[in-house]
Structures are given as structure tokens and as C-alpha cells.
Chain A
């Protein structure tokens, strides 16, 4: 019994937006610095890495394209976790996390699409093909935008959060189905080459810079997300303060005896 009360206490401690703001204020500069160092190192490594004998210099776009695509999916997973947090535990920070992750995720997805089509133009001779992998990422992008529109459409943040959480979870269980159905539909994109049974097929000289870049972008994503959450908490405080100010404006007349 005491165990439960202690755990709820620590949970509510974490949930406290003021504490969160204090932690975020301390973390953000460090994370930003780490992201900058990692990305600089990653870029250096990427340009030192040997060029592909077939694809030439264009292969280097992989070092940013692949991390963007990973992050597009990581961000959605994070949003799904936050959605569970909103619906099941009603954690006050979960809906802030969900709401603010959506635009960041949409931007990373858009960057994955753009870098992909810049890569695809010399390789496939066209900016875009309706290939399975590309199509499912495009659908993911539309889902991100839909959630952004949903969180902006409702005035009351609590109701908007629950609606967005439900949509996010519906999308999350739908992603595998979309993925498979699109795979059956048509495919041209190369198969997964890093995470697969029997070890990566990609050469280690390319894998190292890719790993550093992926880590760098992940840290960058976390930095951006923390900053966005901080903004959202402040925005809600401003809205609350406006309501308080409107109420307080009535008081002096009542106080005068």
C-alpha cells in the first residue's frame, strides 16, 4: 500500500510541469551541444567515407536521408507511447509530449521524403515513384499533418489531447497493415540493409558515419522536442494567466466596502 502511494508521489513529482521546466532548462543546452558535436563529427566521417563505385557522390545523401527516415518512425512510436500515457494514466505531460512531437515528426518525415527524392532523381531518373516504401512514408507524413491539424482544431487542450491520442493509436495499429498492403502493391525501394538477421549487409566504413549521424539527429530531435514541450507548457500558462487576469479584473469593485 505504502509502495503504491510512494510511486504515485514520485509520478506526480515527475508530472509537475514546473519541475519539468527546470530539468528541461538544464538539459537543453547540453543536448544541443551534444547534437552539434555529433552532427559535425558525423558529417566529417561521412565525407571521409569512400564513395560508392556505382552511385558516386550521391550516395552521401544517405547519411542524412536514413537518419531522417528512422526518426520519422521513432517519433511516431514516441507519440504512440505518449498517447497511451494520455489515455491510460492521464499524465499531464503526456499530452504536451504528443502535441509537440507531431510537428517535429512531420518535419523529419518531410525531410526524409525530400532527401529521398533528391537521391532518387539521379538513381531512378524521377523525383517520385509510387513505390511501397516511399508511399508508406508519404502516408505517415499525411498522418502527422492530420494529427497536427487535430491538435490545433480544438480550443480546449484537454479535449484536443484525448482526440489526438485516440487518432495516434488508431494510426499506430494501422501502420503495419498499411506497410504490408503497400508492400504487396508495388516495390522498387532497396530492402532493409542495416537491421536484419545475419548482420548488416552494408560495409562498416559506411556504417560508422551513418551510426554517428543517426545518433546526432536523434539527440537533435530530443532537443527540439524538449524545447517544443517547454514552449507548449509556457503557452498553456499564458492562456491560464489570461483567464485569471480576466477574473481578477472584476475583483477591485467587489472588494471596495
Chain B
């Protein structure tokens, strides 16, 4: 499968934040979106996901049966700034909900929690977890359902060194399985052979 973007431009509050962005990613590829604050990194990810309309250009999938992934958004995992975890529910309850709701189960909840180093904490309410643990729980959500394209917005915010290393391994495994990664970040991610897309920012 290939993810294509041509001549994309996005706007925020009526003014364009980036324009003329294009890329083409195949299985196992990664795109690292960098740029100063306000350059439109988050906006680009949301446009790709289809959460925001593109001001110009288009995003599309190629070489894939439209039955399996009818739209780009359907093929995406989106990890935004917020973790999409309800603090009143237990960790495993939250993940189990997302697995049931998103479908296409991949890993069991316990296995996904173990992969991010939260093994045995599934019974805790999310409110009891630290910021980094919540971020890791949100990463575990990427593992409970299968989606070929991962859109990651500052995925390592709040993670410590050990968790970052583990996250790099998770990304590498996803790419080995033919997945595509788009990450917007300031921090260096361990994405070997990633294409870098530098958004120029205002000016």
C-alpha cells in the first residue's frame, strides 16, 4: 500500500499555515515532520487523517483493496496531544473499549500493556497513573487494533529514556510489518531511514 499526498495546504483560523506539501510513502516508510512551533505539524497530521479539510490538494491510498480500508482515516491510528483515556475507567477497561470499538484486533490488552512496560497495571484507574504512564497507555492503544498508518503527534512527550527506547522498538516492529509512520516531533525519534519533511513555518 502507498500513502500519497499531493500539493497539500492546510489552514488554521482562515490563514494558511503550510502549502505545497507532497509525499509518497510505501510499506515500511516513515516520515518525520519537523519545524518550529506554529509551522503546522499538527495541522498536517489532522489533514492527512481527514479530521480537517485540506485547503488544497489531496491525500489518498493506492494499491489497496478499498473494501479493507475505504478511506485514509479508516486506515489510520491517530495519537494526538491528548491520550483518549477516561480517568474514571481502569487502564484495561479503556484499552478494551478501544479494541472493541476500533475492531481489527491485533494484540491482547495484556500483551499491549506489557509491550509498553505497564504489565500488571491494567486494573488501575487511569487517574492514578503518572503522565508518562498515561502516554504509554495511549501508545498501547496503537497495538490493540491493526491500522497500517500511524499518525503520531509528539508521541514521546512525557516519556523517559527507557520508555523512548521501547517506543522506538515498537515503531521499528510496526514498519517491519509493512506499516507506515508519520510523526510530528521536536525530539529525535529513532526512525532509521526516515524521510524528513521540514515545514518552514511563518515567514
Asked whether the complex places CB atoms of A and B closer than 8 A, the reply is yes
0 or 1 for each of B116-141: is its CB under 8 Å from A? (1 = yes): 01101100110111100100000000
Judged by DSSP, the binding face of A is: helix
Residues of B within 8 A of A247 (CB): 130
* Cross-chain contact B124 with A253 (CB below 8 angstroms): no
Residues of A within 8 A of B120 (CB): 249
* A244 shortest CB reach to chain B, Å: 9
- Which chain B residues (127-178) contact chain A, with CB distance < 8 Å? 127-130, 133, 162
* Cross-chain contact A242 with B118 (CB below 8 angstroms): no
Judged by DSSP, the binding face of B is: loop
**A246 contacts the other chain (Cβ, under 8 Å)?**
yes
Residues of B within 8 A of A250 (CB): 130, 133
In whole angstroms, how far apart are the Cα atoms of A239 and B127 in the complex? 10
**A203 contacts the other chain (Cβ, under 8 Å)?**
no
Interface size on A, residues (CB 8 A): 10
In whole angstroms, how far apart are the Cα atoms of A237 and B124 in the complex? 14
Residues of B within 8 A of A243 (CB): 128
* Cross-chain contact A245 with B127 (CB below 8 angstroms): no
Residues of B within 8 A of A155 (CB): 87, 127
* A58 shortest CB reach to chain B, Å: 47
Residues of A within 8 A of B162 (CB): 253
In whole angstroms, how far apart are the Cα atoms of A239 and B123 in the complex? 12
- Which chain A residues (203-230) contact chain B, with CB distance < 8 Å? none
In whole angstroms, how far apart are the Cα atoms of A243 and B87 in the complex? 13
In whole angstroms, how far apart are the Cα atoms of A250 and B128 in the complex? 14
* Cross-chain contact B128 with A239 (CB below 8 angstroms): yes
Question: Other CB < 8 Å A-B pairs besides A245-B121, A249-B117, 15 of them?
Answer: A155-B87, A155-B127, A242-B124, A243-B128, A245-B124, A245-B128, A246-B121, A246-B124, A246-B133, A247-B130, A249-B120, A249-B121, A250-B130, A250-B133, A253-B162
7 residue pairs of the A-B complex, CB under 8 angstroms, read A245-B124, A245-B128, A246-B121, A246-B130, A249-B133, A250-B133, A253-B117
Q: Which residues of B contact A (CB under 8 A)?
A: 87, 117-118, 120-121, 124-125, 127-130, 133, 162
Q: Which residues of A contact B (CB under 8 A)?
A: 155, 239, 242-243, 245-247, 249-250, 253
